[in-house]
């Protein structure tokens, strides 16, 4: 499968990951609560509105692709991977918004593909290729969001 078709297949995941940057904010998903280590579970960068808007946007893209179910699974996966990244960052004592190279760029797409794997019909090599191309895509779109004033940091 060519690269553009591959990207098209996982497009809901990209929307689920990007839309919270625009529509997120407000109450944090962890409700401000701390984990057993005394640090925040996810931190203020992961909000309820962000999660819901990401889920709806990604699912809607899936709906437009005539594949609401895959769009939904890809979105839940992308948002879960992003949450896991924040969870790990907080456990390592990293502040909200601090960069975690590779993890920030790839965990969401890896989890999106995992959650949707039985239905995605792509090969492992293609999944690896998608993960690799997601790194520059993520860095590029985040830098753009920063230039547009939607993010405080360019990563
Ligand atoms: N965002 C949100 N809800 C989510 C995911 C993201 O509201 N579930 C919004 C937040 O405003 C967040 C921004 O999108 O600050 C950028 O997302 P991300 O880079 O993933 O979060 P960080 O602020 O960098 O936090 P962390 O260090 O936990 O990754
Ligand atoms: Mg970040």
Residues 101-142 have pLDDT tens digits of 999 999 999 999 999 999 999 999 999 999 999 999 999 999
How many whole angstroms separate alpha carbon 87 and alpha carbon 111?
A: 14
User: How many whole angstroms from 99 Cα to the centroid of ligand 2?
Assistant: 6
pLDDT band (50, 70, 90) for residue 1: confident
The residue nearest atom 15 of ligand 1, judged by CA position, is 45
How many whole angstroms separate alpha carbon 21 and alpha carbon 25?
A: 8
How much is the CA Rg of the chain, to the nearest whole Å?
A: 15
User: Which atom from ligand 1 is nearest to the alpha carbon of 21?
Assistant: 14
Q: HSE on the CB side for 86, CA within 13 Å?
A: 20
User: Which atom from ligand 1 is nearest to the alpha carbon of 79?
Assistant: 8
Instruction: Identify the nearest ligand to the CA of 83 by its number.
Output: 1
Q: Which candidate, 80, 79, 83, 61, places its Cα nearest to that of 70?
A: 61
pTM greater than 0.95 (yes/no): yes
The structure tokens listed for 56 are 């709806």
């Amino acid at each position: 499968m060519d690269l553009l078709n591959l990207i098209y297949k996982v497009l809901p995941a990209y929307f689920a990951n990007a839309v919270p940057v625009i529509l997120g904010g407000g109450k944090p998903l962890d409700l401000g609560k701390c984990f057993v280590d005394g640090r925040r579970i996810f931190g203020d960068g992961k909000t309820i509105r962000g999660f819901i808007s990401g889920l709806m946007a990604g699912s809607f893209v899936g709906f437009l692709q005539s594949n609401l179910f895959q769009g939904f699974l890809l979105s839940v996966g992308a948002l879960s991977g992003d949450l896991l990244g924040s969870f790990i960052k907080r456990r390592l004592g990293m502040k909200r918004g601090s960069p975690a190279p590779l993890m920030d760029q790839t965990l969401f797409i890896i989890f999106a593909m995992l959650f949707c794997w039985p239905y995605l019909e792509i090969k492992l090599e293609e999944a690896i290729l998608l993960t690799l191309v997601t790194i520059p895509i993520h860095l590029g779109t985040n830098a753009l969001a920063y230039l547009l004033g939607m993010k405080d940091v360019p990563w």
